[in-house]
Amino acid sequence: MNLRKKIVFLLPVVCMVFYFACSKSSYNNNNRSPGGGGIGGGNSGGSSVTITVQNMSFPVNTSVKKGTVVKWYNQDGYAHTVTSDDGNSFDSGNLASGATFSYTANTVGTFQYHCNIHTGMKGTLTVTN
Ligand SMILES: [Cu+2]
């Protein structure tokens, strides 16, 4: 094989190696997982926060920014309710085991809430600007 034939033969091979190397790295770049977000990550407006209801209790206090979608997730094996003490800000009704209740916190203030079924279950939601 003379030199010219060698070059003609090797050139496409070299190009293909570069092509795959480049496409592989750009694939990896595009595949990077998006940063931020996630459950409980960040309380800025427009985001969401998940409150886990478990062991017959709510978290004592949860603070969120106005506009946050607050989700109560019932991890207990029986139903609860998420009912604001003032009787009209929010009320989930019976929230079955494994179910989620969402409330968009558009009103600034401090909201105490309870479970209608287990009246000892109490929590507070604080909504700030
Ligand atoms: Cu309950």
Looking at residue 107, what is its pLDDT? 97
Domain-located, residue 7: no
Q: What is the pLDDT of residues 5-55, one digit of tens each?
A: 554 554 454 434 344 443 443 333 333 333 333 344 444 446 999 999 999
What is the C-alpha to C-alpha distance for residues 48 and 53, in angstroms, rounded to an integer? 16
104 part of a folded domain: yes
Residue 120 alpha carbon to ligand 1 centre in Å: 8
If you measure from the C-alpha of residue 51 to the centroid of ligand 1, how many angstroms do you get, rounded to a whole number? Answer: 14
Cα 96 to ligand 1 centroid, rounded to whole Å: 10
DSSP for 42-56? ---TT-EEEEEEBTT
Total structural domains in the chain? 1
CB–CB of 115/121 below 8 Å?
yes
pLDDT, tens digit, 9 for 90 and up, residues 54-88 = 999 999 999 999 999 999 999 999 999 999 999 99
What CATH number has the domain bearing residue 67?
Answer: 2.60.40.420
Listed in sequence order, the residues at least 6 apart from 111 whose beta carbon sits closer than 8 Å to its beta carbon are 84, 85, 86, 89, 90, 124, 125, 126, 127
